[in-house]
Structure 1
């Protein structure tokens, strides 16, 4: 097959995906990443510092109350109350009262709503429905289960709160969903939007490279000076 015919067929087959690559890449470059993450709507990293004068339980007493071997210990606050966040060796997170060292129950729905409200900076308000997410989706791929709190604003903001630590683990907005949709098109993972080593993208990338090489060969073959010398 000649270079011209090969280039023509590759242009037809790969051209649509090239258009999707360029358009999705442009969109993802234009959208500010802070807006995609919803930082203008939810201050997810805001933590109330612990007062230095508080009488807190010693690390040794907290470790004695731990249900298992501890990998990491962190004194922090949850809704203004001092807590100790323990990360166990198996990856489980447990909260303890920072004053008495006693274990705290898992974060329930009302507490998750209070956490989301305290961090929210937008014009909407949490809806009456708070749901617990137990199955993974393209919207949330982290550790399950988590609480999902929906806000009634233009972005349809959803805040995901860990059931173990009470931390905000994800913020999803309309801008994020648009970005994620084009990201899935860009990496050609139309289902999970996370695998950029799919056979499809490898095959089309190789085809795009072949298309470019064929174009260079055609340019060389049709270069005016070369054609004149040949004549």
Structure 2
């Protein structure tokens, strides 16, 4: 009975490693493809584009020439707990009105700089303010305007509530989120941002909050991918060590 040759032993060993490599490829290979696709998407687009900076035009905060705001000491008397006060102009009822923004310990509010009355924005005011910010076209087309008070969509933080959501009928399905207290643009979203957020979820493997970059699932797959690479290198070594079979003439 002939003894197995060195080449036969190498073939048997490489066969066992090849089985492991195939199973690891089946289990971890899909995630490697997802890492490649999601990484390519996130690298391809500029962050400023993903953030939607191109959708917003700068809004001048110049006060009307005829503005006569109340003295600051009068404002402090009416709002003794104010930590910071800024004077600005705000679009209300179709015209720019001088306003004071009052920063408190937990909240921020907007008051009329002349009467010191708290300002409230109607849906028409929010729509007009949003259109002033909107830079994609000079004739914006709004799909819907909603006041979100108790449940935030997954694309924004619940800490922004309550907030006005203005949805535009454009190529990227842009959404502006406007503060009901100050009329400021808090954040903006569009389909390319939503795609980035989805790819980020696939990349870090956090399918709930999309924030945890050190989850055990991610660590396990990183370790498994490393083992997959090791088995591939071992198979390469076995392949290089095997002598080519001579064909008898």
TM bucket (normalised to shorter chain) is 0.7 to 0.9
Cα shift readout 1:141-183 (whole Å, capped 9, x = no counterpart)? 1410100112122222111101111111121212222222212
Per the normalisation by structure 2, the TM-score is 0.76
Answer yes or no: is 1:65 the counterpart of 2:78.
yes
Q: 1:162 to 1:200 in 2, by over 3 A?
A: same
Gaps of 5+ in 2: 1-12, 244-249
Return the match for 2:220 from 203, 206, 209.
203
Partner in structure 2 of residue 75 of structure 1? 87
Does residue 89 (structure 1) correspond to residue 105 (structure 2)? The answer is yes
Structure 1 residues 148-167: aligned runs within 5 Å = 148-167=165-184
Q: Distance in 1 between matches of 2:64 and 2:71?
A: 16
Deviation of 1:95 (Å): 0.8
Relative to structure 1, the CA distance from residue 118 to residue 218 in structure 2 (aligned partners, 3 Å threshold; closer, same or farther) is same
SS in 2 for 1:222: helix
Any conservation in 1 of the 2:64–2:89 contact (CA below 8 Å)? no
Q: CA–CA distance in 1 between the matches of 2:196 and 2:63?
A: 37
Query: How far apart in 2 are the matches of 1:200 and 1:51?
Result: 57
* Aligned residue in 2 for 1:126: 142
Tell me if the contact between 1:130 and 1:149 (Cα under 8 Å) persists in the aligned partners: yes
1:98 matched residue in structure 2: 113
Deviation of 1:52 (Å) = 8.0
- Kindly tell me: are residues 96 and 12 of structure 1, through their superposed partners in 2, closer, same or farther at Cα, counting changes over 3 Å? same
- After TM superposition, the structure 1 = structure 2 runs for residues 162-201 of structure 1, keeping only pairs within 5 Å, are 162-201=179-218
In the aligned structure 1, how far is the partner of 2:219 from the partner of 2:122? Answer: 44
Query: Do the aligned residues in 2 keep the contact of 1:137 with 1:192 (CA within 8 Å)?
Result: no
Q: What SS class does the counterpart of residue 192 from structure 2 fall into?
A: helix
* Whole-Å separation in 2 of the counterparts to 1:46 and 1:77: 10
Aligned-pair Cα RMSD in Å: 2.8
Local SS of the residue matching 1:175: helix
Distance 1:57 1:210, change over 3 A: farther
Is 1:38–1:171's contact at 8 Å kept on the other side of the alignment?
Answer: yes
Structure 1 position 28 matched with structure 2 position 45: no
1:223 Cα deviation from its structure 2 partner: 7.6
Deviation at 1:22, TM superposition (A): 1.0
The 10-residue stretch of structure 1 (79-88 or 46-55) with the greater mean CA deviation from structure 2: 46-55
1:115, distance to aligned residue in structure 2 (A) = 0.7
